[in-house]
Amino acid sequence: MTETAIPLAVIAGRLRDGRMSCAALAEDAIAAHEARGPQLRAYKSWEADRARTQARAADALLATGIDLGPLMGIPVSVKDLYGVPGFPTFAGTDEALPADWTRAGPVVSRLLAQLGIVTGKTHTVEFAFGGIGVNAHWGAPANPWSGRDGPRAPGGSSSGAGVSLVEGSALVALGTDTAGSVRIPAAFAGQAGLKTTYGRWSNDGIVPLSSSLDTPGLLCRTVADLAFAFAALDPEGGNETPARPLSGLRIAVPEKFFWDDADVSVSARVTDTLALLERRGATLVPVEIPGCEEVLAIFRKGGLAAAELRAFLERHFPERIARLDPVVRLRVQEVEAMSGLEYLRRREELALWSRRADSVFAACDVVASPTVAISPPRLEDVADIAAYARANMLVLRNTAIANLLGWCALTLPVGPDALGLPVGLQLMAPPLAEEALLAAGRAIEQTIGTGADLMGTCPFSS
């Protein structure tokens, strides 16, 4: 077992008892990036010397008994929407944003206060507005599981985040999730990802897409690592959430919607996993979630995000609208004629369906579905704007529901599809139920194995 395959909780313990060093961990991350970075292109900004300096400082402090927090000395990649002092913030645009956008908000401040080692800023879709992971200004990171038929989408909008974990240059990745932007890249890369409840973690210090829906989130190699990192960064503090018993876990399985137009092998992989969980003691509960079609209809029209991004751009960067990535500009321009009345109607309708949909949790602990209904598409197959729009909507459909209904959600890998590409299982839980969600995810992970167990060695990780 390599050092980067060891659980975060174990690594943290070894850094403190001297069996591992922060400097060596940083050198492993740097070496991994130097070996695989040119192929994978996960990062917009990379600072090896900064990481080395901070890792040595962490070692010196630990040697004197000063412990700043669980993530001390852990390599972390940060999506290039977050402000991180010393790093430019591009937000996927064609030039760096003003220096004010490099200021650390509460999430990054908690990371830096623990002396977590920021390895660099990972690529994002421009202003985070897209689920495929492409960027006309900087290109797309390569999905590490791509085969000989060409590079595939990394998933967006946190497009470099999942790739950085597979690369081995980070053990934790900070992303954001407005309609699936943590869970999609995690699922496409065979990693675990957590979307927090709106408002649980502050969006301050993060370039916004949608002020009504944006949520900070985490990507890690395993759900166990997610639980460790979540406890370290959550403002409420608390201990790492352990696994709950699988026996008695009530898993709601929607009979429609999430499975429509899904790839056969993706559906089969998720269905087989759920059947295994039932044999091991979980209870599967067939349900119909009210409002899915209705809130998706709003989402297809741009939801709240298109209008809110347009308002943000008009206020701060009007000169950049004409220079936007075409797949982003098209959606921003579509809301030019949208009235304030229509915007308020959408907000009210989403709130109504959110209240109604919460009733599903009276009969279950979590709702399960495929994270993404299709395999990661080849980048050349989504180069045309019309093809992109069709694929983008299908990629975002399953994940967007949790955002639109106000739930927290995670994804964990459940094995390969027929193409050998990762498949994710999405679990959704009520607002502010992250601990229960992580406990359920850990129970499932302990039953089926981690992504590394299920997927084997990635072509780009060895």
Express each pLDDT in 28-56 by its tens digit. Answer: 999 999 999 999 999 999 999 999 999 99
pLDDT digits (tens, 9 = 90+) for 86-127: 999 999 999 999 999 999 999 999 999 999 999 999 999 999
Cα separation, 54 vs 195, whole angstroms? 28
Closest CA to 430 of 409, 446, 404: 409
The mean pLDDT of 341-351, rounded to a whole number, is 98
pLDDT at 205: 98
pLDDT at 198: 98
Amino acid identity, position 54: Q
How many other CB atoms are found less than 10 A from the CB of residue 70? Answer: 18
Determine contact, residues 278/313, Cβ cutoff 8 Å.
no
Determine contact, residues 333/219, Cβ cutoff 8 Å.
no
381 band by pLDDT with thresholds 50, 70 and 90 = very high
188 band by pLDDT with thresholds 50, 70 and 90 = very high
pLDDT digits (tens, 9 = 90+) for 398-423: 999 999 999 999 999 999 999 999 99
pLDDT at 82: 99
The mean pLDDT of 198-226, rounded to a whole number, is 98
Cα separation, 57 vs 290, whole angstroms? 53
- Phi and psi angles of residue 370, each rounded to the nearest 5 degrees, phi first: -60, 140
Determine contact, residues 75/27, Cβ cutoff 8 Å.
no
Residue 393 has pLDDT above 50, yes or no: yes
Residue 3 has pLDDT above 70, yes or no: no
Residue 263 has pLDDT above 60, yes or no: yes
- Does the residue 273 lie in any domain? yes
What integer best gives the mean pLDDT of the chain?
97
pLDDT at 72: 98
Run of H or E including 451: helix 451-455
- Does the residue 429 lie in any domain? yes
| DSSP letter, residue 149 | T
Domain count, the chain: 1
pLDDT at 457: 83
pLDDT at 4: 54
Q: Among residues of the chain, what percentage have pLDDT more than 90?
A: 96
1 band by pLDDT with thresholds 50, 70 and 90 = very low
Active centre residues (catalytic): 79, 157, 181
Cα separation, 30 vs 295, whole angstroms? 43
Residue 462 has pLDDT above 80, yes or no: no
User: Which string of DSSP letters, residue by residue, matches 184-240?
Assistant: HHHHHHT-EEEEPPBTTB--TTB--S-TTT-EEEEEESSHHHHHHHHHHH-TT--PP
The mean pLDDT of 219-233, rounded to a whole number, is 98
- Does the residue 180 lie in any domain? yes
Residue 237 has pLDDT above 90, yes or no: no
- Does the residue 461 lie in any domain? no
pLDDT at 5: 80
Name the strands in the sheet holding 43-46, side by side, starting at the edge strand that comes first in the sequence: 43-46, 117-122, 75-79, 172-177, 215-220, 192-195, 408-416, 422-429, 366-370, 250-254, 283-287
Residue 324 has pLDDT above 90, yes or no: yes
438 band by pLDDT with thresholds 50, 70 and 90 = very high
- Does the residue 91 lie in any domain? yes
- Does the residue 460 lie in any domain? no
- Does the residue 35 lie in any domain? yes
Cα separation, 18 vs 181, whole angstroms? 37
Q: What is the CATH number of the domain that holds 267?
A: 3.90.1300.10
Residue 150 has pLDDT above 60, yes or no: yes
**Domain that includes residue 104, residue range:** 3-455
pLDDT at 369: 98
pLDDT at 220: 98
Residue 278 has pLDDT above 60, yes or no: yes
Residue 2 has pLDDT above 70, yes or no: no
Residue 251 has pLDDT above 90, yes or no: yes
